[in-house]
Structure 1
Amino acid sequence: MTLPSFLVVSLLPFLLPFLAQSGPNPLNDDVLGLIVFKADVSDPFSHLSSWNEDSDHPCNWYGVSCDLKSNRVTHLALTNLSLSGKLSRGLLLLQYLTTLDLSRNNLTGPLQPDFLRLQNLQTLDLTANSLSGSLPSSFFEQCRSVQSVSLASNGLLGPIPGNVGNCLSLASLNLSYNQFSDVLPSSLWNFVGLRSLDLSNNDLFGTIPPGMNASINMRVINLRNNRFTGQLPGEIGDLALLKSLDLSNNLLNGTLPDSIGRLATCQYLSLSSNLFSGLVPIWIGGMRSLESLDLSWNKFSGEIPSSINHLQFLREVRLSGNSFTGGVPTWVFASGVELVSISDNMLNGAIELAGKSGSALRFLDLSGNALSGWVPPDVSYLKNLQLLNLSRNLLSGDIPATIGDLKLLEALDLSSNNLNHTIPSDICELASLKVLNLEKNSFYGEIPIQIGKCTSLTSLDLSENSLTGQIPMSISKLTKLQRLDLSQNKLTGELPKQLSSCPQLTYFNVSHNQLTGGVPSGTFFDSLPPSSLSDNAGLCGSVLNKSCPAVMPKPIVLNPNSSSSNNPLTQPNLNPTKNLHHKKIILSISTLVAIGGAAIIAVGILTITVLNFRVRSNKSQPATAFDLSDGYLTQSPRSDANSGKLVRIGGGDLEFSAAGHALLNKDCELGRGGFGTVYKTVLRDGQPVAIKKLTVSSLVKSKDDFEREVHSFGKVKHCNLVGLKGYYWTSSLQLLIYEYIPGGNLHKHLHESPASDSLSWLERFDIILGVARGLAHLHRHGVVHYNIKSTNVLLDGSGEPKVADYGLAKLLPMLDRYVLCSKIQSALGYMAPEFACKTVKITEKCDVFGFGVLVMEILTGRRPVEYLEDDVVVLGDAVRVCLEEGRVEELMDPRLGGDFPLEEAVPVVKLGLVCTSQVPSNRPDMCEVVKILEVVRSPQGTPEEELLV
């Protein structure tokens, strides 16, 4: 007779001592322990259905492995199964267990103090759960034979217990992405056999304790993103086997100890975003195995050592944000380095290439120095160059014609120099060019009409020059263009009406010119801020509150590329180049009317009235109390009601580095979105941050409402969400300070990266799953994103997705719904059909719809809505047709090259379609989405047709 599982749980504290005294009972102990564990967890997909307490032994149970001779349980692997609940003490009965892997679930509660006491346990992996509380002081007391412990990506806090050094057999310890604080215990270096130590992304502080040379077998040390201070211990050079050392984003100072030069096997060295100073010693050239060197954003000075040229395996060098002097080192062009960033230093002199070498160089950033002379004509020798940034220097002359030989170049930034010639008409021979930035120079003459051949351009900035003539109509052919800035020139004539046919346009500025005529009509142009058109006395239109003489209002254009209003809005199959006999897909008129028509008609009058009233009100208010003291952004001593204070979420002070004066300067701009402009700057402690300046500043709620809302979503922490660090509020200016994510947004990786850098199937699946987890976490905390799209998904250095811009819709008052409507164009294709502007109802189901569109965008590599010459392609409709006709392989991104598992692709495609159901109640919630994706990743026992009906 067996006991019911609930009785087993309640009796376990009494059973354990009894079992310990009654001698071994191998089969019953293992069965009992696992049944007790099962009773303490929720198993939504019934993976543990084979676990039956009536079994003689558990060796055939899901996730369980046994020793063939003794039939004792040795391995328990239940990773990524959506299990929730607590860690049961029943597992302590598995006395022969060597591996316990419960990673990537949702287990909660505190960590039991005695898991490491299992005498045979070698591996404990509880990564990516929701464990909380402090680490029990006795956790490392008796480690016995444990070799690997990972508690990464949980919510653990407090100090790391001082007895951690008792685990002498430990080879790998990963406590990253938690909230551990306090100083490091010196016993940490007692592990003679320790090979990998990862304590990154915590809140640890104090100096790095001495004695690390005792860990003679150490291969990997990662302490980045903490608050360590003091100098780097010289004994670090005694770790002769060290391959990777990452101490970035801390407060370490002093000079580099010479002993680092003895790390002959080190391949990766990152000391960025600290306070190191002095010269970079020539012994850096002795680290012969080095592949990646990052010393950026410190206080190094002097010349860059030429000995770096001796590092024959070096591929990436980052030295930005220091005080290096002298010329550009010759090794930049003569070695096999692929990425060089020496921006924001004090380099001077001309740029001189070393012969015809440098064919390996792909990314070169020398911006923010004092380089002079001409852009070197022999730059054409750098055949593999994809990014060239020479902005913010003292370069003069013209753009050399030889730059057209850089056929792979995607980004060219020559802004803020003294270039003084016409813009070459053949610049668009750069067929791959996506970003062209020539602002703040002295270019003159007309904008070449050949600019329309730059069909890959997404950003064009020619502002603050002396350009004359008309804006060429050919610019309207740039269908991928998102950002166009022609401000502060001497341009004349009318704005080309065809500009309304640029479907991707999100930023447009022609202010301070001599333009005349009407502003093009359309949802985007009707919602432009007047400042984008200001100081053009001859311009007119509703957005300027100035009627154009004898001009009747234009009708709403639903198809930006259609030359006739009578053309049907039909859509071909996903691949329009194939001559297939399939029916065309009709664009939903009701959806576009809800998105476009209601946004214009229902709130047009209200928009103008409220904006005029609030602009007049704001003009009467005194200026915001910003003070710049000693290079730091501080609160003004005035008692002005408009003065504000920087507030750090979670307490503490926010102070910016000496570059704080450039806080909201265009040179620091990262991008612009529906809710504001994002800038990059550096905190006083050396950490880079991203600052969003809200463009709806005059429409945001009161200070109390603003702070309440910001604090509410500022407390939502998750590894797949961009962290909010703080904020600034006045009645006319609001700033949100976020963690800086260096990897760019998903839209660029999907639509702008070369085929060679295309995301793999595994990377795409992980992005989809990560975004789903981030949204599910938001919804669990009552936060609706509202604006989910590929530009609001950022990728960190390891490719992990982080959802950005969440919760911003709640910062707007109920009276200002038209602001939401004005953002719809930027998210066209992602918005749920029920999202009609006049009766906006923001729900979690709207996020699910946007997520479904994002899933299909990631799988196909296509944009949500594409405007062809005669048709409008809606991605969801095209995917549905391909799926119904059994042509799944055709709809997948060609850059995958067919390298994807069909058994995973099909259910994920179905999931995307289910999420975009026209009826909100038919869409799953995000927690269900996460569970479905986790089953697709680990489908044992779950037939594919059961995943999505």
Structure 2
Amino acid sequence: MATPLVMGYSHLLLYLLVSVVVSLKGCMGSDSGPIQMNDDVFGLIVFKADLIDPFSYLSSWNEDDDSPCSWKFIECNPVSGRVSQVSLDGLGLSGRLGKGLQKLQHLKTLSLSQNNFSGGISHELGFLSNLERLNLSHNSISGLIPSFLDNMSSIKFLDLSENSFSGPLPDNLFRNSQSLRYLSLAGNLLQGPIPSSLVSCSSLNTINLSNNHFSGDPDFSSGIWSLKRLRKLDLSHNEFSGSVPQGVSAIHFLKELQLQGNRFSGPLPGDIGLCPHLNRLDLSRNLFSGVLPESLRRLSSMSFFSLSKNMLAGEFPRWIGSLTNLEYLDLSSNALTGSIPSSIGDLKSLRYLSLSNNKLFGIIPTSVVSCTMLSVIRLRGNSFNGSIPEGLFDLGLEEVDFSDNGLVGSIPSGSITFFSSLHTLDLSKNNLTGHIPAERGLSSNLRYLNLSWNNLESRMPLELGYFQNLTVLDLRNSALVGFIPADICESGSLNILQLDGNSLVGQIPEEIGNCSSLYLLSLSQNNLSGSIPESISRLNKLKILKLEFNELTGEIPLELGKLENLLAVNVSYNKLEGRLPVGGIFPSLDQSALQGNLGICSPLLKGPCKMNVPKPLVLDPYAYGNQGDGKKPRNVSSHPARFHHHVFLSVSTIIAISAAILILFGVILVSLLNVSVRKRLAFVDHALESMCSSSSRSGNLSTGKLVLFDSKSSPDWISNPEALLNKAAEIGQGVFGTVYKVSLGSEARMVAIKKLFTLNITQYPEDFDREVQVLGKARHPNLLSLKGYYWTPQLQLLVSEYAPNGSLQAELHERIPSASRLSWANRLKIVLGTAKGLAHLHHSFRPPIIHFDIKPSNILLDENFNPKISDFGLARFFAKLDRHVISTRFQSALGYVAPELLCQSLIINEKCDVYGFGILILELVTGRRPVEYGEDNVLILKDHVRFLLEQGNVFDCVDPSMGDYPEDEVLPVLKLALVCTSHIPSSRPSMAEVVQILQVIKTPVPQRTEFF
């Protein structure tokens, strides 16, 4: 690859050559004025020289041409013959916006969106004084937004959205932009207040500043509200605060007002309803309080209305029926009171209705049945009573959530239309009675059914097993009686089955083994009897098994120990006995999961251990009377009592004593092993807790070896390691050691020091030096560079660069609510950068460097959200560790560890990193942890995403905090993550292939190759 210096010389040479060509052609002369045409040729050729064109779209751009007007993606003014438009949208171009464009003095449109441009904006764009349209959206351009708009008084359209621009906007940025009509800076990292000069843009009709970090109290009264021509205002997902005063009515033609996802407070502006053309109003996720303004009833043109997640109070508006064009209504998560008026039925176009989590009461009005277009209705978390309106379940509803209310009566049977369209039905936590309607099960598209916490007092319908797409069935605490249907999993799609707290009897059906997709099976607190079916061992995806508080008997099938994915088991308070399975989760079960049984054999339990094995034989021929002719057999002693005693001691007693000795020996052996493991873990966890104590104990630390890769000699301040860590501050602890930060030397350079858990990893400095020297050569923009090391037999330190902006773990899961969010552009940048760093480790070294601990806490972020991988290669030092110790260490990385490491011999290879990287992608896209423990279940992220993908609802799992995102990028990235997390290592791609796929995904849609 050419160095920057060589590339600079090549561009200069090209610049000179093109200049010579222009001069020669100019000297030849031409009546048509070729010099002007060659200015455009010259500028575009120089501009092209700074680009990377992977698909050769610009191959027609030839410096030998007299005019560029015949080139692809170029348009010229037919009168002047000068270039007027350059449109290179979605061509997969990359590089920096370099020189050359300033030559295009007649350029009116420059559109470079949907590419991979990086770096900052060249100030030379400011010389394009005739430019009217500038579109640089959906790239990776970073840095500050320059104030070149001062020189672009003709600009009408400016779109810099979905990049990585940061910092505040210059206050005078728009002072000469009176012609500006469209402005979008959405999806960047911009911060600070809105420039006051924006008010001078009197022609603006669209402002989109969403998904940034803008803050402060916007000047609405004398500022934004004075822009009379405004049609769309989007300030959503920023950090604005303060109140929104009246004055919005001055913008007579306003059509869209989006302020959601900020910290606006106070009452809603009272004149907001005086904008007659307003059709979209989204003020959700703020701190607005007070009552809804009466003026809102005038917004008869409004189709989208959301005030959810605020602190609004007062009665539910009786005038809601006046908004006759409403299609989307969301007033959830407020403190509204009163009842729903019957005028709700006047909303004939309504498709989405959510009033959840308010303080509403009364009945659900029957007039809601008149909303024939209704698709989603959510009323959960209120105090509604009465019955479900007759006829509501005859509509083509897709989602119904009436949970956590006080509804009574029976569940309506519903029409064919209802059961063919419905995919989610949640009626839990009510007082419903009667049977479960399942007569339409054969044609149902139902995926989620939750009727828990009701008083149904009915049997489970046999038809439930035929719900073809049912994935969640929750019937807990519903007073169900009878048996569990044998064909409960006939469809094979069920993921969660919860029947706890009912009065079910009989055996667990053997056909439960047909539930091949099941990962949560909970049948606790019933009256189930019989043995635990061995067929459960076929449920390879099972994560949780809850069977406590039943009447189950016999042994736990030993085959259940083969369930590799099982994370939690509870069989307490049954009548079980005998041995526990030796594999899987069972050896690590605690007392609470086993107690209350007849005789399970476990050292955790104090009760008797009952084994289902034959008793030893007692060989006493006289115990059963005389045989044959009644005479003693030949050779039998004349002292029968002595013979009986002799035979019993020789067989029964010997067997019993032998068994007791074996059991005692086993208990002692297990205890010794536990003590040994605890000692080793304690040694790893607590060895060398402080540098001072290490120094005082070792006595030979002064013979330690220090090597700094970027220094020729060892500085005096580290000759004694106590002087280093005495002033260090601990900033974290990982799998391989404790991390400190410390300022080095007089230059106060901050570095990170990792104190490794030693456990006699390497006994000689040359061994340690050989390993660390390899890591020191691993230099890459996406790797945290290693600066050096310190070694003694008792202490090993690694010195690396310090990343002041913290880890991806903190950015995803430890961010305070008021802090900024990660945009999709930054998340994709982190994914691609991490992939490139891992690919460098895997493919640039032989043997490859394996990270072995890919997770967000080991991904550090620089000031531009570029990822830097830390802790890479440390697995090389730990090859000699006891497998139990290292596997125990990796319990802290639950969810990231490749399954082959947990189930087979410890094999560290590149595919382990690919698995962890796939989990990392899922975490970045969803904002969720790989394993989440709920009150009643455990969510396994990769299974959750795979399930949603199979059901066609994968975008439901996307992190809502990152705002808008391109679905055509998010979907293939999620698919790539699922491929990377395949259980079969050979099915996972290499990191080099991952990088190639990600680069294609980042390429705009028209040119993208479909990989999945």
Q: 1:208 aligns with which of 244, 248, 251?
A: 244
Tell me the distance in 1 between the aligned counterparts of 2:257 and 2:676.
55
Q: 1:518 aligns with which of 547, 552, 556?
A: 556
Q: 2:572 aligns with which of 534, 537, 540?
A: 534
- Return the letter of the residue paired with 1:933: I
Using the TM superposition, give the Cα deviation of residue 232 of structure 1 relative to its aligned residue in structure 2, in angstroms.
Answer: 0.8
**Residue pair 1:417, 1:441 contacting (<8 A) in 2 also:** yes
Is 2:504 the partner of 1:467? Answer: yes
Deviations 1:540-584 (A, max 9, x none): 3234444794799xxxxxxxxxxxxxxxxxxxxxxxxxxxxxxxx
User: Secondary structure of the equivalent of 2:197?
Assistant: helix
Using the TM superposition, give the Cα deviation of residue 446 of structure 1 relative to its aligned residue in structure 2, in angstroms.
Answer: 2.1
> Corresponding residue for 1:418?
455
Tell me the distance in 2 between the aligned counterparts of 1:808 and 1:418.
55
> Corresponding residue for 2:313?
277
> Corresponding residue for 1:930?
998
Q: 2:115 aligns with which of 65, 81, 99?
A: 81
Using the TM superposition, give the Cα deviation of residue 155 of structure 1 relative to its aligned residue in structure 2, in angstroms.
Answer: 0.9
Q: 1:258 aligns with which of 282, 289, 294?
A: 294
Using the TM superposition, give the Cα deviation of residue 106 of structure 1 relative to its aligned residue in structure 2, in angstroms.
Answer: 1.0
Q: 2:167 aligns with which of 133, 149, 158?
A: 133
User: Secondary structure of the equivalent of 2:831?
Assistant: helix
> Corresponding residue for 1:676?
none
> Corresponding residue for 2:258?
222
Count of residues in Structure 1 that have an aligned counterpart in Structure 2: 682
> Corresponding residue for 1:457?
494
> Aligned in 2, Cα 1:246/1:926: closer, same or farther, shift over 3 Å?
farther
Is 2:812 the partner of 1:775? Answer: no
> Corresponding residue for 1:487?
524
Using the TM superposition, give the Cα deviation of residue 357 of structure 1 relative to its aligned residue in structure 2, in angstroms.
Answer: 7.1
> Aligned in 2, Cα 1:138/1:8: closer, same or farther, shift over 3 Å?
farther
Tell me the distance in 1 between the aligned counterparts of 2:819 and 2:574.
36
For 1:316-465, list aligned pairs within 5 A.
316-336=352-372, 337-354=374-391, 358-377=394-413, 382-383=418-419, 384-400=421-437, 402=439, 404=441, 407-465=444-502
- Return the letter of the residue paired with 2:997: V
Deviations 1:509-547 (A, max 9, x none): 223333331245367636645653333451532344447
User: Secondary structure of the equivalent of 2:999?
Assistant: helix
- Return the letter of the residue paired with 1:350: S
> Corresponding residue for 1:292?
328
> Aligned in 2, Cα 1:448/1:334: closer, same or farther, shift over 3 Å?
same
- Return the letter of the residue paired with 1:140: F
Tell me the distance in 2 between the aligned counterparts of 1:396 and 1:808.
58
- Return the letter of the residue paired with 2:570: S
Deviations 1:352-386 (A, max 9, x none): 314x8732222111001011233234577734332
TM-score for both structures, normalised by structure 2: 0.58
Using the TM superposition, give the Cα deviation of residue 782 of structure 1 relative to its aligned residue in structure 2, in angstroms.
Answer: 9.3
**Residue pair 2:297, 2:320 contacting (<8 A) in 1 also:** yes
- Return the letter of the residue paired with 1:390: L
For 1:812-851, list aligned pairs within 5 A.
817-818=886-887, 838-840=906-908, 846-847=914-915, 850=918
**Residue pair 1:428, 1:451 contacting (<8 A) in 2 also:** yes
> Aligned in 2, Cα 1:332/1:915: closer, same or farther, shift over 3 Å?
closer
Q: Give ranges in structure 1 of 5+ residues lacking alignment.
A: 11-24, 553-604, 618-707, 717-722, 728-735, 742-765, 789-805, 855-891, 897-904
Tell me the distance in 2 between the aligned counterparts of 1:169 and 1:485.
63
Using the TM superposition, give the Cα deviation of residue 302 of structure 1 relative to its aligned residue in structure 2, in angstroms.
Answer: 0.3
Tell me the distance in 2 between the aligned counterparts of 1:95 and 1:448.
77
> Aligned in 2, Cα 1:394/1:924: closer, same or farther, shift over 3 Å?
same
Deviations 1:690-727 (A, max 9, x none): xxxxxxxxxxxxxxxxxx999622454xxxxxx43549
> Corresponding residue for 2:79?
69
**Residue pair 1:408, 1:430 contacting (<8 A) in 2 also:** yes
TM-score for both structures, normalised by structure 1: 0.62
> Corresponding residue for 1:687?
none
Using the TM superposition, give the Cα deviation of residue 167 of structure 1 relative to its aligned residue in structure 2, in angstroms.
Answer: 1.2
Between 403-412 and 268-277, the greater mean CA deviation after superposition: 403-412
- Over aligned residues, Cα RMSD in angstroms? 5.2
Deviations 1:276-309 (A, max 9, x none): 1111222211111110100011110100121111
**Residue pair 1:47, 1:81 contacting (<8 A) in 2 also:** no
Between 315-324 and 202-211, the greater mean CA deviation after superposition: 202-211
Larger Rg: 2
> Aligned in 2, Cα 1:284/1:908: closer, same or farther, shift over 3 Å?
closer
Tell me the distance in 2 between the aligned counterparts of 1:234 and 1:293.
20
Q: Give ranges in structure 2 of 5+ residues lacking alignment.
A: 1-7, 17-34, 85-107, 588-600, 603-609, 615-669, 683-802, 840-850, 856-868, 923-948, 954-970
Tell me the distance in 1 between the aligned counterparts of 2:870 and 2:527.
41
Tell me the distance in 2 between the aligned counterparts of 1:60 and 1:834.
62
Higher relative contact order (CA closer than 8 Å, sequence separation 6+): 1
**Residue pair 1:483, 1:506 contacting (<8 A) in 2 also:** yes
- Return the letter of the residue paired with 1:310: D
Using the TM superposition, give the Cα deviation of residue 66 of structure 1 relative to its aligned residue in structure 2, in angstroms.
Answer: 3.5
> Corresponding residue for 2:808?
713
Tell me the distance in 2 between the aligned counterparts of 1:525 and 1:834.
12
User: Secondary structure of the equivalent of 1:285?
Assistant: helix
Using the TM superposition, give the Cα deviation of residue 41 of structure 1 relative to its aligned residue in structure 2, in angstroms.
Answer: 7.1
**Residue pair 2:564, 2:903 contacting (<8 A) in 1 also:** no
User: Secondary structure of the equivalent of 1:476?
Assistant: helix
Tell me the distance in 2 between the aligned counterparts of 1:532 and 1:380.
40
> Corresponding residue for 2:926?
none
> Aligned in 2, Cα 1:308/1:51: closer, same or farther, shift over 3 Å?
same
Tell me the distance in 1 between the aligned counterparts of 2:498 and 2:415.
22
**Residue pair 2:129, 2:151 contacting (<8 A) in 1 also:** no
> Aligned in 2, Cα 1:150/1:330: closer, same or farther, shift over 3 Å?
same
Is 2:192 the partner of 1:152? Answer: no
Using the TM superposition, give the Cα deviation of residue 438 of structure 1 relative to its aligned residue in structure 2, in angstroms.
Answer: 0.3
**Residue pair 1:835, 1:841 contacting (<8 A) in 2 also:** no
User: Secondary structure of the equivalent of 2:271?
Assistant: helix
Deviations 1:319-359 (A, max 9, x none): 001011001221333421111000000101222314x8732
Tell me the distance in 2 between the aligned counterparts of 1:151 and 1:780.
28
**Residue pair 1:82, 1:931 contacting (<8 A) in 2 also:** no
Using the TM superposition, give the Cα deviation of residue 408 of structure 1 relative to its aligned residue in structure 2, in angstroms.
Answer: 3.0
**Residue pair 1:349, 1:373 contacting (<8 A) in 2 also:** yes
> Corresponding residue for 1:161?
195
Tell me the distance in 1 between the aligned counterparts of 2:975 and 2:544.
32
**Residue pair 1:519, 1:525 contacting (<8 A) in 2 also:** no
- Return the letter of the residue paired with 1:534: S
Tell me the distance in 2 between the aligned counterparts of 1:260 and 1:86.
45
Tell me the distance in 2 between the aligned counterparts of 1:8 and 1:846.
42
Using the TM superposition, give the Cα deviation of residue 45 of structure 1 relative to its aligned residue in structure 2, in angstroms.
Answer: 6.8
Using the TM superposition, give the Cα deviation of residue 928 of structure 1 relative to its aligned residue in structure 2, in angstroms.
Answer: 4.4
Deviations 1:72-117 (A, max 9, x none): 3322222222111110112223233222222221111100112364
Identity of aligned residues (%): 31
Tell me the distance in 1 between the aligned counterparts of 2:347 and 2:915.
49
- Return the letter of the residue paired with 1:101: N
> Aligned in 2, Cα 1:199/1:934: closer, same or farther, shift over 3 Å?
same
Using the TM superposition, give the Cα deviation of residue 491 of structure 1 relative to its aligned residue in structure 2, in angstroms.
Answer: 2.0
For 1:225-236, list aligned pairs within 5 A.
225-236=261-272
User: Secondary structure of the equivalent of 1:419?
Assistant: coil
- Return the letter of the residue paired with 2:476: E
Between 509-518 and 291-300, the greater mean CA deviation after superposition: 509-518
Using the TM superposition, give the Cα deviation of residue 238 of structure 1 relative to its aligned residue in structure 2, in angstroms.
Answer: 1.7
> Aligned in 2, Cα 1:472/1:844: closer, same or farther, shift over 3 Å?
closer
> Corresponding residue for 1:724?
813
